[in-house]
Amino acid sequence: MKQYSENNFEQCTKCTVCTTYCPVAAVNPLYPGPKHSGPDGERLRLKSPQFFDESLNMCLNCKRCEVACPSDVRIGDIIQSARIKYSAKKPGLREFTLANTDLVGSVATLAAPVVNATLGLKPVRHIVEGVMNIDHRRIFPKYAFGTFEGWMRKQRKAQAKFAKQVAYFHGCYVNYNNPPLGQAFVKVLNALGYGVQLLENEKCCGVALISNGFINKATKQAKSNLESIRKATSKGLDVVATSSTCTFTLRDEYEHLLGLENGDVRDNIDLACRYIYNLLSDGNNTLKFNPEAPRIKVAYHSPCHLERLGWTHYSIELLKLIPNVELVKLDSQCCGIAGTYGFKKENYATSQAIGESLFTAIEASGCDLVATDCETCKWQIEMSTTKKVLHPIEILASFLL
Amino acid sequence: MRFDTVIIGGGLSALVCGIELARNGKRVAVVAKGHSSLHFSSGSFGLYNAEHPLKAIAELAPTHPYSKIGVERVEALAAKATEILNVAGVSTNGTIEANHYIMTPTGALRPCWLSLEGTVTAASDKSLDFKSAAILYPEGFLDFYTQFVSDELQGLGVNTSLHSFALPELSIRRNNPTEMRSVAVARALDKEENILALANIISHKTGDAEVVIMPSVLGFVKSDVQSRLEKISGKRILTVPTLPPSVEGIKVERALRTTFERMGGVIFNGQTVVSYAKEENVVATVTTDKYVTLTAEEFVLSAGSFIGGGLESDRNSIVEPVFGVDVAAPQGEFTTRDIFEPQPFMSAGVVTDNSFKALCGGTPIDNLYACGAILSGFNGVKEGCGAGVAMVTALEVAENILNK
């Protein structure tokens, strides 16, 4: 069908399938759902911006509406673009703190033990709730003492020895909270004969800036990242990320929400699990697994943005290649946290209600641990269940000989 | 990624074909562009609109998908389809020999092969097996036409009364009146407190009618809401399908997807096949708009018709967009002015040989089969055979692949 609008809302047939699969509409009767907020509302907003409704801020940008849509309407993009264009709500201190993951991270990692201990204290969490409207029940991710980038600088010579190279987009989470995931990625790539290098100047992908309304800063960082990515691809390097949301943001949100042209490098930006799966399936690469490793049962949770990328099966198939892993695929559903959404006091109840059936399924699965490609899903599941959550790459690395 | 069979499409036909192949040991992938038209169906299934469907099927034109299979095999495959639905946990009533009747959202009785348990059905379109009915509906719910249902029932000699009910959660939904839809009501009725509240309303506020008739909104995830309401209230409850989205249709899709995955099938959600690679007369790989490339021995094109995207049209032509295989399009106008008349475009579709291999330039492609709504030669609406053709051709294709 011919498209006349900036986005493709006129392809909507009003079938309501999107609203049927919206995790927010399912638990929060106040949210009108993606059809109403997206294509229906867009028709009116084109006439007058006064038809913008602040209920669009209830959307957690999981994009499950887009995965469900039989007509290829980018419903989630329509809603996010409308928020960017029309929302009168200006971001405050809370949004600034949650959105600037790299700024906050670089300060926190300098004093990680103190920050972790302080944020773990109940009275502090109540003060944070009072001052910032961040729910006191929400548990903050722990900060690492020293960044991943710092560790990588010491690896430069060793990594440069490999003939084949990839550039790693580690993301804020690996850099400030979980350097061991980045180290696991390096270990697996090295085992495949690839050296790992950093981008010339990696900035936060900007997903939290976009969702918290800091569009100018997000655009600035995105431009900088694209410049670094272009420098890498021009040297023949692929850019690989462990985080499904970073990957999704770099590939899709830059173009769809920030209007930045990334078509020249999009095919070179890949997700770690998919990249490694494809290396292993081309017949020239193998990994040697430790035959004496203990047998474990792993439950795989599909993050929303990975569903939207369409690549969940690469992570699943990669885990299935590990001889001593028994894999259970959990029904694909949103865990409820959606990055910074679940941290906000007004969203906490919705966030936990969305995830409830997932938490029950995880406990019932009898798994030893949960695997997922998304760091915020990990925080949510670790906070809400008794299970530890690892990235598939961490599991893969731990089984290598 | 490598599979034995890749099925393009994620609707009734694709999932039935996938289940049959997967349960016979094949590694199968389904590529689904969003959710299927089961979301717009009543949840019941038609084989053919005639008093005795098999007799009518035996008389069909040779280009009809049923004619390519032959009436005896249609009968056997229809029985197998019923069995697959049963395996998936979809319990149905009905026989292949004679149609019975189901009530549509506007109250009319229409012929049906398999209907879901607990719906309003009848042995003929002249009478029902109850003489009085209380019609009970949620306040503010727009997708169920109570007055039409009541009028039709009265025309069949049934005494009716109308009753509405409200629940606090549903009253909040009415803040967005257009979004007070079947799924929202059904979700509310998954909750224990709402089940108990509704059972109380049914017990005390529906008079002494023989049956209570409600829209099909009784539980979205839970499957026992209707039986529990009957047990607590002591009343016989029957349902009538609503306008889309159809809770019962969604439950059928969910049951089939779960069964397919349980049997080892893999579903690639939210993506469309946009290109393929061919070697000689054999399809080697297909690639989706999400840059997923799938390799397989056999491919099944089950992408639906115009709504599903299996067929595309402009004012002059109808095409199959992925492989560009042969399409039979109407010779003259695509539409007729009277909207209630059979529309010529509805019989358009992919042309196959008798083993359902798609033809390309008149020659069958060795490993590309087509099944379901994408096929040419039938009119699912006029003939009431959409579900029948979807499942029967899916099972014929599965059998052809398994016998290779």
B391 with B303, same domain: the answer is yes
Strands A239-241 and A164-169 turn out to be parallel
B324 with B203, same domain: the answer is no
CATH number at B263 reads 3.50.50.60
DSSP-assigned states of every residue in A216-277: HHHHHHHHHHHHHHHHHHHTT--EEES-HHHHHIIIIIHHHTT----HHHHTTEEEHHHHHH
The amino acid present at A294, given as its one-letter code, is P
Domain final position from B240, B272, B295: B240
Give the range of the structural domain holding residue B21, as residue numbers without chain letter: 2-94+249-402
Q: What is the CATH number of domain A296-398?
A: 3.40.50.1860
> Quick one: pLDDT at residue B147?
95
3-state secondary structure at position B227: helix
> Quick one: pLDDT at residue A3?
58
Q: Encoding tokens for residue B288?
A: 């989706």
Number of alpha helices (DSSP H) and beta strands (DSSP E) in chain B: 12, 21
> Quick one: pLDDT at residue A1?
47
The amino acid present at B394, given as its one-letter code, is A
Minimal CA separation from B37 to chain A, in Å: 9
Which of B180, B263, B269 would best serve as a mutation to test chain A binding (most A beta carbons within 10 A)? B269
Beta bridge partner(s), residue B109: B103
Residue B111 lies in a domain: no
A20/B35 touch (CB, cutoff 8 Å), yes or no: yes
Residue B112 lies in a domain: no
Q: Which of B372, B308, B40, B257 is CA-nearest to residue A70?
A: B308
Domain final position from B240, B269, B299: B240
Residue B347 lies in a domain: yes
CATH number at B169 reads 3.40.50
Q: Which of B293, B299, B294 is CA-nearest to residue B281?
A: B299
CA separation for the pair A193, B273 (Å, rounded): 33
CA separation for the pair B307, A72 (Å, rounded): 11
B307/A13 touch (CB, cutoff 8 Å), yes or no: yes
For each of chain A's 401 residues, which pLDDT tens digit applies? Answer: 455 667 788 889 999 999 999 999 999 999 999 999 999 999 999 899 999 998 999 999 999 999 999 999 999 999 999 999 998 888 888 888 888 888 788 878 888 888 888 878 888 888 878 877 888 888 888 888 899 999 999 999 999 999 999 999 999 999 999 999 999 999 999 999 999 999 999 999 999 999 888 999 999 999 999 999 999 999 999 999 999 999 999 999 999 999 999 999 999 999 999 999 999 998 889 999 999 999 999 999 999 999 999 999 999 999 999 999 999 999 999 999 988 888 888 889 999 999 999 999 999 999 999 999 999 999 999 999 999 999 999 999 999 99
Give pLDDT tens digits for B193-212: 999 999 999 999 999 999 99
3-state secondary structure at position A384: helix
Looking at the partner chain, which of A15, A25, A307 has a beta carbon nearest the beta carbon of B39?
A15
Q: How many domains would you assign to chain B?
A: 2
Q: How far is CA B275 from CA B28, B204, B284, B292, B358, in A?
A: 19, 60, 11, 11, 16
CA separation for the pair B249, B239 (Å, rounded): 13
- Residue A352 makes CB contacts below 8 A (sequence gap 6+) with A336, A342, A384
Interface of B with A in 286-325 (CB under 8 A): 288, 290-292, 307-309
Domain final position from B200, B216, B240: B240
Could you give phi then psi for residue B86, rounded to 5 degrees? -65, -45
B382 with B267, same domain: the answer is yes
> Quick one: pLDDT at residue A2?
52
pTM of the complete model: 0.95
- Residue A261 makes CB contacts below 8 A (sequence gap 6+) with A255
Rounded (10°) angle between helices A112-120 and A122-132 = 80
Residue B364 lies in a domain: yes
A20/B39 touch (CB, cutoff 8 Å), yes or no: yes
Residue B100 lies in a domain: no
Which portions of chain B are predicted below pLDDT 50? Answer: none
Task: Give first-to-last CA distance, chain B, whole Å.
Answer: 22
CA separation for the pair B109, B240 (Å, rounded): 11
Which of A273, A313, A321 would best serve as a mutation to test chain B binding (most B beta carbons within 10 A)? A313
| Residues of A with Cβ-Cβ distance to B33 under 8 angstroms | 70, 72
Sheet bearing B121-122, strands edge to edge: B109-112, B100-103, B121-122
Q: Encoding tokens for residue A26?
A: 């399912």
Could you give phi then psi for residue B112, rounded to 5 degrees? -155, 145
The amino acid present at A139, given as its one-letter code, is I
Domain extents in chain A: 9-86, 296-398
3-state secondary structure at position B338: coil
The amino acid present at B214, given as its one-letter code, is M
CA separation for the pair A194, B144 (Å, rounded): 61
Q: Encoding tokens for residue B268?
A: 């690639």
Query: Would you report the helix, strand and coil content of chain A in percent, each value rounded to 5?
Result: 55, 10, 35
A16/B244 touch (CB, cutoff 8 Å), yes or no: yes
- Residue A50 makes CB contacts below 8 A (sequence gap 6+) with none
| Residues of A with Cβ-Cβ distance to B308 under 8 angstroms | 70
Q: How far is CA B115 from CA B80, B125, B239, B248, B338, in A?
A: 16, 15, 11, 11, 30
B350 with B267, same domain: the answer is yes
Q: Are A101 and A225 in contact (CB under 8 A)?
A: no
Which runs of E-coded beta strand occur in A244-387?
269-271, 296-300, 325-329, 369-371
B235 with B276, same domain: the answer is no
Query: Other CB atoms closer than 10 Å to residue B370's CB: what's the count?
Result: 31
B86 with B41, same domain: the answer is yes
3-state secondary structure at position A388: strand
* Residue whose token pair is 């996938």: B18
Q: Encoding tokens for residue B344?
A: 């010529």
CA separation for the pair B352, B18 (Å, rounded): 20
B374 with B262, same domain: the answer is yes
Minimal CA separation from A215 to chain B, in Å: 26
* Residue whose token pair is 């979205």: B220
Minimal CA separation from B168 to chain A, in Å: 10
3-state secondary structure at position B81: helix
CB of A40 within 8 Å of a chain B CB? The answer is: yes
- Residue A167 makes CB contacts below 8 A (sequence gap 6+) with A196, A197, A198, A199, A229, A232, A237, A238, A239, A240
Minimal CA separation from A309 to chain B, in Å: 7
B261 with B375, same domain: the answer is yes
B335 with B391, same domain: the answer is yes
B74 with B134, same domain: the answer is no
Which of A1, A13, A16, A247 would best serve as a mutation to test chain B binding (most B beta carbons within 10 A)? A16
3-state secondary structure at position A158: helix
CB of A278 within 8 Å of a chain B CB? The answer is: no
3-state secondary structure at position B277: strand
Query: Would you report the helix, strand and coil content of chain B in percent, each value rounded to 5?
Result: 35, 25, 40
Closest-CA residue in chain A for B244?
Answer: A15
> Quick one: pLDDT at residue A309?
97
CB of B184 within 8 Å of a chain A CB? The answer is: yes
CB of A109 within 8 Å of a chain B CB? The answer is: no
Which of B36, B39, B183 would best serve as a mutation to test chain A binding (most A beta carbons within 10 A)? B183
Number of alpha helices (DSSP H) and beta strands (DSSP E) in chain A: 24, 8
* Residue whose token pair is 């397919």: B260
Give pLDDT tens digits for B351-361: 999 999 999 99
CA separation for the pair B155, B150 (Å, rounded): 9
> Quick one: pLDDT at residue B60?
97
Beta bridge partner(s), residue A385: none
> Quick one: pLDDT at residue A4?
61
Interface of A with B in 295-334 (CB under 8 A): 307-311, 313-314, 317, 329, 332
Q: Which of B273, B276, B350 is CA-nearest to residue B311?
A: B350
CA separation for the pair A27, A335 (Å, rounded): 13
Closest-CA residue in chain B for A318?
Answer: B1
Give pLDDT tens digits for B117-168: 999 999 999 999 999 999 999 999 999 999 999 999 999 999 999 999 999 9
Residue B205 lies in a domain: yes
Cβ pairs bridging A and B (under 8 Å)? 90
Residue B103 lies in a domain: no
